[in-house]
Amino acid sequence: MQVLSSKGVFLASGHYQDSSIAVRLISFVEEDIDADFWFRKIQAAWQYRKDVGYLDNPNTNCYRLIHAEGDGLPGLIIDIYAQTAVIQCHSIGMFRSRKEIAEALRKIYGDQLSAIYDKSSETLPSEFGRGVQNGFLEGAGDSAIVQEHQHQFLVDWVQGQKTGFFLDQRDNRQMLSQYVSGKSVLNAFCYSGGFSVYALAAGARMVHSVDVSEKAIAWTDRNVALNKLPEDRHKSMAEDVMKYLKDTEESYEVMVVDPPAFAKSLKKRHNAVQAYKRLNAMALAKIAPGGILFTFSCSQVVDRSLFYDTIVAAAIEAGRSVRVMSSLSQPADHPVQLFHSESRYLKGLILYVE
């Protein structure tokens, strides 16, 4: 649909949706939203990834191709896992264009892409999403083994969270490798064990992986074995992280706290902030003196300043002296549009705890 000024002057084109965001704008030029439009937009995103080094990269064959507003296509996520593209549409209009999007991917990648999987039912508005079935727009296959730096990971886009893997933590996983040699590490909310694999490979003395999902723990164990890492230095536990932190007598030297988004709307922001505070206060209470805490929030409605202030409150509650070593965010394949700062959703801190 077109958005016009009060005087009838064209302003933009976009997808209408009956939600707090009435129209997601996809073009500020008066043009047809047709097959050529989709090809040009996705080609531009592909060229950006090529220019910043993600294509034909010997260190990784998985990356984000379309990052919604960051690539001028709000409501659309496309992740590449080796030869499979996984699409997630967050708006009805974007979902209705999925076939044109898939055709653009075919033209751009050619025989480098063997499958295109649509995983939109969970991310579309609830009433509409209930009538949508996930499935292949081309090809088949429910998983693949991908490479990230020198590590391998099994990615299951059919049963996994999001599109199957948390590509946005790539650089932060590599950063963790600098601090774990000879140390005990807790990876809380481990999902498929990304941080655990990096820690073990970097020489951690012991890594404990905790996640409430038994399926996630099975994937973690699979990824540890896949990388031929010493299983006697790794223990995985399917437990609620909050309960585990409350009950454990372990005092870890390095901790990773990477919870799912506690708030997906402004109405839930206050409760989310309280949850982040409780979680981090518990982590700070358990970490050994001289320990290093990697803590994250992926809640878009909790901005960087609010997250920082929440960690300050957690440190006060835990009674620990804390130094900020570094601030963390998402990698370059998750670009932030200069005029849409909200797309910088991933926030992290590396903390030295005395």
Q: Does any domain span residue 154?
A: no
DSSP string covering 270-317: HHHHHHHHHHHHHHHHHSPTTEEEEEEE--TTS-HHHHHHHHHHHHHH
Residue-number span of the structural domain to which 123 is assigned: 32-146
Q: Model confidence at 297, in pLDDT bands (50, 70, 90)?
A: very high
* 220: CATH: 3.40.50.150
- Based on the domain organization, do 78 and 211 belong to the same domain? no
Give the Cα separation of 13 and 123 in Å (integer). 22
Residues serving a catalytic function are 298
One domain for residues 201 and 256: yes
Q: How much is the average pLDDT of 142-164?
A: 96
91-105, 252-266, 314-328: the lowest-pLDDT one: 252-266
pLDDT of residue 309: 96
Residue 14 lies in a domain: no
CATH number at residue 59: 3.30.750.80
Q: Are residues 245 and 315 in the same domain?
A: yes
CB 146 within 8 A of CB 82: yes
Residues 258 and 334 in one domain: yes
Domain check: are 348 and 301 in the same one?
A: yes
- Is residue 61 in a domain? yes
| Predicted pLDDT at 139 | 96
Judge if 191 and 325 occupy the same domain. Answer: yes
Q: Does one domain contain both 93 and 194?
A: no
Same domain? For 116 and 248 the reply is no
Q: Are residues 205 and 294 in the same domain?
A: yes
Domain count, the chain: 2
Q: For residue range 211-240, what is the model confidence (pLDDT) as tens digits?
A: 999 999 999 999 999 999 999 999 999 999
In angstroms, the CA 201 to CA 227 distance is 8
The residues, any chain, with a CB within 8 Å of residue 25's CB and separated by 6 or more, are 3, 12, 13, 14, 74
